[in-house]
Amino acid sequence: MKTIIEPFKIKMVEPIALTTPQEREEILRRAHFNVFQIPAEQVIIDLLTDSGTSAMSAEQWAGMLRGDEAYAGARSWFRFERVVRELTGIPHILPTHQGRASERILFELVGGRGKVIPSNNHFDTTRANIEHSGAEAVDLVIDEGTQPRTRHPFKGNLDPRKLEELIARVGARHIPLCMVTVTNNSGGGQPVSMANLHEVREICHRHAIPLFLDACRFAENAYLIKRRERGWDSASPRAIARAMFDLADGATISAKKDGLVNIGGVLLMRDDQLAERANNLLILTEGFVTYGGLAGRDLEAMAQGFTEVLDEDYLHYRVRSVEYLGEHLLEAGVHIVEPPGGHAIYIDAAAFCPHIPQSQFPGQALVCALYRHAGIRAVEIGSVMFGRVDPDTGEVSYPPMELVRLAVPRRVYTQSHIDYVVEAVVEVFERRNTIRGLRIVEEPRALRHFTAQFEAVAG
């Protein structure tokens, strides 16, 4: 059969409230043109994030009821620990309430002034936690990873040459660890190949630098390795995921992605001493070591989610439905990051709105246009998220790409929802010349995309 169906049936439904373009114009104004400020009930199709937005399975809900809420040594903890150990083989497993809690603990321990932490691309919370510790976060993705239209099967790869150069320039003793983000969210949801992980691991090993994975989307990365990398096509996603973790000295995971849960995270490490210090911090701010910042029922849901996510039929449907969205946009002439990533389609907003300069946030302007036109909530991954203003000189530095991410929640939307998205993007594309730029009127000191306020630039 050519048609790939959702490999699940729907047992529970949530209504979607439909709004008019006039209503949405007013909503946008009230939100100061920042879609993070729009109530979710006023969104028709919510593609803001794939994080924490998954639909849980009947087995996950059953696990929620079975959750053991004992403070220490709960049955749910032992199930969770067993599942994560079988999946990763990493001995020290710390539950946290979400990915950034794992990052905060890790970088409080290894970060600090004078330290440099490389990655293919740090996600925004990872970068913010590293910088908060006083350390410097450096992105070393391969050049193809910053060229939206260059086709490369593993555009998330970390450039080994750039890593060697960094080590030579700053010295290995200033690099407490190297991260690799799988898949590379900030770089277009692009996967990292097994060969690249081996190469990075070899360099790190040679310089005694631990290698950590930001493994939020380990299952999608594993499936894309199976599909695209020679030698892995007959391996199971589980075996590939395990081979990825076998190369790592530790990992941070937000289970809100491939854990198929609405809240949860994990911090993993092999080093006994580091783990002991991490456990002390965990107790200080998250909770006792057998629950972290979570309830027993959350641990049950995560354990089940980490199991279900490696189902090959699920991963096939997941990756194909994102590709389907990307292929239809490409057919209509919309430029996207190619090839489509694992969890999202990234529209090249600079190409979509060539009449809007980077200083007027073409990505944010496109996000607003999509909401206004069809009630679709996307997110800007460009100058709002990553632009930097030098506090001394006032000079602005811009990221290499202006992207708008359409992140697809797991197991939530059907093919007709995705068809609606295609139609909406294409219609906005046809009238793209009418989209106007924005200027920031208020912004916080860090992570400004969440709360910055904008106004339209006069046309």
Ligand X SMILES: Cc1ncc(COP(=O)(O)O)c(C=O)c1O
Q: Where on the chain is the footprint of ligand X (CB under 6 A)?
A: 51, 98-100, 123, 125-126, 181, 185, 214, 216, 254, 256, 265
Count CA within 13 A, CB hemisphere, residue 257.
Answer: 26
| Least distance CB 99 / ligand X (angstroms) | 3
Those residues with Cβ within 8 angstroms of residue 209's Cβ, 6 or more apart along the chain or in another chain: 167, 172, 175, 176, 177, 178, 203
Count CA within 13 A, CB hemisphere, residue 24.
Answer: 22
| Least distance CB 294 / ligand X (angstroms) | 12
Strand pairing partners for 118? Answer: 138
What angle, 0 to 180 degrees and rounded to 10, lies between the N-to-C axes of helices 75-88 and 296-308? 30
* Cβ-based nearer residue to ligand X, 28 or 216: 216
| Least distance CB 345 / ligand X (angstroms) | 15
* Cβ-based nearer residue to ligand X, 262 or 359: 262
* Cβ-based nearer residue to ligand X, 219 or 435: 219
* Cβ-based nearer residue to ligand X, 99 or 339: 99
| Least distance CB 379 / ligand X (angstroms) | 10
| Least distance CB 214 / ligand X (angstroms) | 5
| Least distance CB 443 / ligand X (angstroms) | 21
| Least distance CB 411 / ligand X (angstroms) | 17
- Please identify the residue of the shown chain whose CB is closest to the bound ligand X: 99
Using CA atoms, how far apart are residues 155 and 151, in angstroms rounded to an integer?
Answer: 8
* Cβ-based nearer residue to ligand X, 120 or 360: 120
* Cβ-based nearer residue to ligand X, 322 or 422: 322
* Cβ-based nearer residue to ligand X, 298 or 356: 298
